Structure 1
C-alpha cells in the first residue's frame, strides 16, 4: 500500500482518483492547489504524487521543480492536453510519467502500479547500507526500514559523505569546504543546523544500526552500531 498525494483543482477528478486509489489498496490525501500540495508533501510520508499541471497558486511544473530539489518521490503529471511541450517539460523537470485528460482511472492506476514497482526495484538496487538504512546512489533515494525518507540536497550530501567514509572525523570547516564550497562565507554553525535536522529525520524514521556521532572539539563522524561509543 502506498500513500498517494492527489493534487488537482477539480474536486470531481480528485474524488474519482481517490476512489480508484482506495479500491487499489492505497491511502490518499488531496490538495486543491499548488501551495496546499506543497504543504502536504512537506508534512512527509508521501510515496507518490498525482500532480495536475494547471494548479492555482503554484502550477504543477513549478511544484514538480520544487519537490525535485527536496526528494526523488515518484511523480505522475496530469495534463489537460496531449501537446509534446507539456510532456517534455514535465519529464525534464523530473516527473516519472504522465497521463492526459480525459483519462480512465484504470489507466492511471496501471501507471501508478508501474511507477511504484519501478521505484521500489531501483530503490533495492546496489547502494550504501547501514543497519536498516539504504541509500540508492543512482537515483538519490534514501530508505529506512523500506520506507522512503525525504531529505534536502545538503542533508542527502551529508549522509552520503558519512556513509562513504564511516568513522572518519569531519570538522565543520572541512564539511563546509566539501559540501558548501571553499568560497562559502557564511557561519560554520550552518553545519550544526544541517546535522541537527538530519539527525532528527533519521531518528524519527526509526534508524537502527548507525548514527551521526559528535567528536567533541573535532567534528562529526558516522558510527556503526557495533563501534559507536
Structure 2
C-alpha cells in the first residue's frame, strides 16, 4: 500500500488531508513538524511527502532539502503564500510540486497521483545512455569522460528531459511546463540561463551531445546514442 507522509502544524489541515487520502486507499502518516517527520522517515518507508512551509523548528524549505539529501521520494510543498519568491525558494529547495492554501483536496490528489506515476517509472526509464555519457535519474548524477557530476536540480531535470526526447525541438513554454511545472509564473528567460549553464558545463567536456538553439522555436538536444 502506498504510504504518504503529511507534515503540518495545523491539526485541521492534517485531518482534512488524512480523510481524503484514506478515501483514495492511501496509508497516511502524520507529523506536526519537521523534526517529527525526519524521525518517521528514519524508521519507515514513505512513498511521498506533503509538507507545509511554515512550521516550527524546521520549516518546509529546510525539511525538503533534508528529504532530498537522504531519501528518494517526491515532495509537495503547501504554503499560504503565492509570491513568486516563495515559489522560487520552494523549487530551489528541491520540491517537485507546489500548492497554495487554501486548496481543493481534489487538486492535491491529482498532483499526488501524477507525482507517484512519475516516480514509479521503470528502471530503464531512469537511465539515459548517450554514447559515453550516462544520465542517471535514480541518483541524479551525470557520468561522462570518467567524471561524475552532480548538477543543480533544475539543470539536471532540464538535461534529462531533453535527452529523453533527442532531436525534438521544444519551446521555452513547453520546457517550463515540463521542468518547472504548470504553476511556475517566472520569466521564460530562466530556460535560457539554464541552457547556457549546461552548455558551459558540457561543451568542452564531451561531444556525446549538444544542445542546439532552434530559431523561432526553442531548443533541442542532438545526441549520439550507443
Q: CA deviation at 1:124?
A: 5.3
Q: CA deviation at 1:107?
A: 0.6
Instruction: Give 2:22's aligned residue.
Output: 22
Q: Decide which moves more: 119-128 or 6-15.
A: 119-128
Q: CA deviation at 1:84?
A: 1.0
Aligned ranges 1:79-118 → 2 under 5 Å:
79-118=79-118
Q: CA deviation at 1:5?
A: 0.3
Would you say the 8 A contact 1:48–1:75 is kept in 2?
Answer: yes
Would you say the 8 A contact 2:80–2:100 is kept in 1?
Answer: yes
Q: CA deviation at 1:81?
A: 1.1
Return the TM-score normalized by structure 1.
0.55
The RMSD of aligned alpha carbons is 2.7
Aligned ranges 1:40-59 → 2 under 5 Å:
40-59=40-59
Aligned ranges 1:1-229 → 2 under 5 Å:
1-121=1-121, 123=123, 125-127=125-127, 138-140=136-138
Q: Alpha carbons of 1:138 and 1:57: their partners in 2 closer, same or farther (altered >3 Å)? A: same
Q: CA deviation at 1:13?
A: 0.4
Q: Alpha carbons of 1:122 and 1:84: their partners in 2 closer, same or farther (altered >3 Å)? A: farther
CA distance in 1, matches of 2:117, 2:123: 10
CA distance in 2, matches of 1:122, 1:77: 25
| Structure 2 unaligned residues grouped into runs of 5+ | 129-133, 149-226
CA distance in 2, matches of 1:110, 1:75: 14
Return the TM-score normalized by structure 2.
0.56
Would you say the 8 A contact 1:33–1:55 is kept in 2?
Answer: yes
Q: Alpha carbons of 1:96 and 1:126: their partners in 2 closer, same or farther (altered >3 Å)? A: closer
Q: CA deviation at 1:96?
A: 0.5
Question: Aligned residue pairs: how many?
Answer: 140
Q: CA deviation at 1:139?
A: 2.1
| Structure 1 unaligned residues grouped into runs of 5+ | 129-135, 142-152, 162-177, 180-229
CA distance in 2, matches of 1:6, 1:126: 26
